Chain A
Amino acid sequence: MANPLKPVDVVLVGFGWTGSILAEQLTQTGLEVLALERGKFRDTVPDFATTQIQDELRYAVRDGLFQDPARDTLTFRNSVDQTALPMRRLGSFLPGVGVGGAGIHWNGQLWRFLPEDFVIRSHTEQRYGKSFIPADMTIQDWGITYAELEPHYDTFDYLCGISGTAGNIEGQIQPGGNPFEGPRQRGYPLPPLKRSYPTVLFDRAAKEIGFKPFPCPAANTSAAYKNPLGVQMGPCTYCGYCEWFGCGNYSKASPQTTILPVLLKRKNFSLRTHCDVTRINLDNTGKRSTGVTYVDAQGRQVEQPASLVICCAWAQHNALLLLHSKIGQPYDPKTNTGVVGRNYAYQITSAVDVFFDEIMNPFMGAGALGQAIDEFNGDNFDHAPVGFIGGGYIALWTTGGRPILQHQLPADAPKWGAGWKKAMADNYLKSASIATHGSVMSYRDSYLDLDPTYRDIYGDALLRLTFDFHPNEIKMSGFLTDKAALIAQAMKLRSFHPIPREGHYSIVPYQTTHNTGGCAMGANPKTSVVNKYLQSWDVSNVFVMGTSVFPQNAGYNPTGTVAALAYWSADAIKNRYLKSPGPLVQA
Chain B
Amino acid sequence: MPRRRLYMHQKPEALSELSAQTKPPECEAENSSGVKECASLSRRSLLNAALFLPAASVVGCSSPRESNLSEAQESRPAFAFFNPEERAFVEAATERLIPDEEDGLGARGAGVAVFIDRQLAGPYGRAEHWYMQGPWATGTPEQGYQLKLTPGELYQTATRDVNAWCQKKHGKAFAGLSEAEQDDVLHGLESGDVELPDVPAKVFFAMLWNNTVEGFLSDPMYGGNRNFAGWKLVGFPGPRYNYVSEIEQYGKPYTLPTVGILGRNGALLKKG
Contacts and interface: CB of A to CB of B under 8 A. Distances in A.
A196 B251 CA distance: 10
Contacts of B3: 425
B246 interface: yes
Interface string A262-286: 0000000000000000000000000
A235 B242 CA distance: 11
B236 A403 contact: yes
Contacts of A364: 243, 246-247, 254
A109 to B, nearest CB: 18
Contact of A68 (B129, B135, B140, B186): B129
A61 B261 contact: no
Nearest to B236: A403
A197 B251 CA distance: 7
B98 A421 contact: yes
Given A239-B243, A361-B246, A415-B190, A76 B143 contact: yes
B106 A421 contact: yes
Interface string B232-271: 0111110111111011101111100000010000000000
Nearest to A403: B217
Contacts of B239: 50, 54-55, 239, 241
Nearest to B136: A85
Given A61-B218, A359-B251, A418-B99, A239 B143 contact: no
A197 B249 CA distance: 8
A88 B97 contact: no
B31 to A, nearest CB: 16
Interface in B202-224: 209, 212-214, 217-219, 222
A407 B142 CA distance: 24
Interface in B59-77: none
A474 B244 CA distance: 40
Contacts of B141: 506, 508
A162 to B, nearest CB: 19
B142 A237 contact: no
B190 A359 contact: no
Interface string A34-55: 0000000000000000111011
Interface string B129-153: 1111101010111111110000000
B2 interface: yes
Given A359-B253, A416-B97, A57 B218 contact: yes
B181 to A, nearest CB: 14
Contacts of B137: 83, 85
Nearest to A61: B214
Contacts of A407: 234
Nearest to A54: B239
Given A237-B243, A417-B97, 19 more contacts: A56-B218, A61-B214, A88-B145, A197-B250, A238-B242, A238-B244, A239-B241, A239-B242, A361-B247, A363-B254, A416-B97, A416-B186, A420-B97, A425-B6, A425-B234, A425-B235, A428-B235, A429-B253, A453-B135
B194 to A, nearest CB: 15
A57 B219 contact: yes
Contacts of B190: 415-416
A70 B132 contact: yes
B99 A424 contact: no
B84 to A, nearest CB: 25
B101 A418 contact: yes
A504 B143 CA distance: 11
Contacts of B143: 76-77, 85, 507
A367 to B, nearest CB: 14
Given A56-B219, A57-B219, A237 B242 contact: yes
Given A62-B124, A415-B190, A428-B236, A86 B242 contact: no
B64 to A, nearest CB: 32
Given A197-B250, A403-B217, A404-B214, A69 B142 contact: no
A54 B261 contact: yes
A424 B231 CA distance: 10
Main secondary structure of the interface of B (DSSP, over half): loop
Interface residues of A, number: 66
Contacts of A82: 140
Nearest to B239: A54
Interface string B1-42: 011001000000000000000000000000000000000000
B133, B183, B222 pick with most chain A CB within 10 angstroms: B133
A88 B261 contact: no
A73 B132 CA distance: 11
A454 B124 CA distance: 23
8 contacts: A55-B219, A88-B144, A237-B244, A363-B236, A416-B98, A421-B98, A421-B233, A507-B143
A89 B145 contact: yes
A158 to B, nearest CB: 24
B254 A361 contact: yes
Given A69-B129, A504-B142, A363 B240 contact: yes
Contact of A88 (B132, B212, B217, B242): B132
Contacts of A63: 129
Interface in B116-135: 124, 127-133, 135
B244 to A, nearest CB: 6
Contact of B99 (A200, A240, A421): A421
A455 B235 CA distance: 46
Contact of B248 (A77, A83, A194): A194
A69 B236 CA distance: 32
B96 interface: yes
A449 B117 CA distance: 40
A91 B243 contact: no
Contact of A425 (B214, B233, B252): B233
Interface string A240-268: 11000000000000000000000000000
A226 interface: no
Contacts of A526: none
A365 B233 CA distance: 21
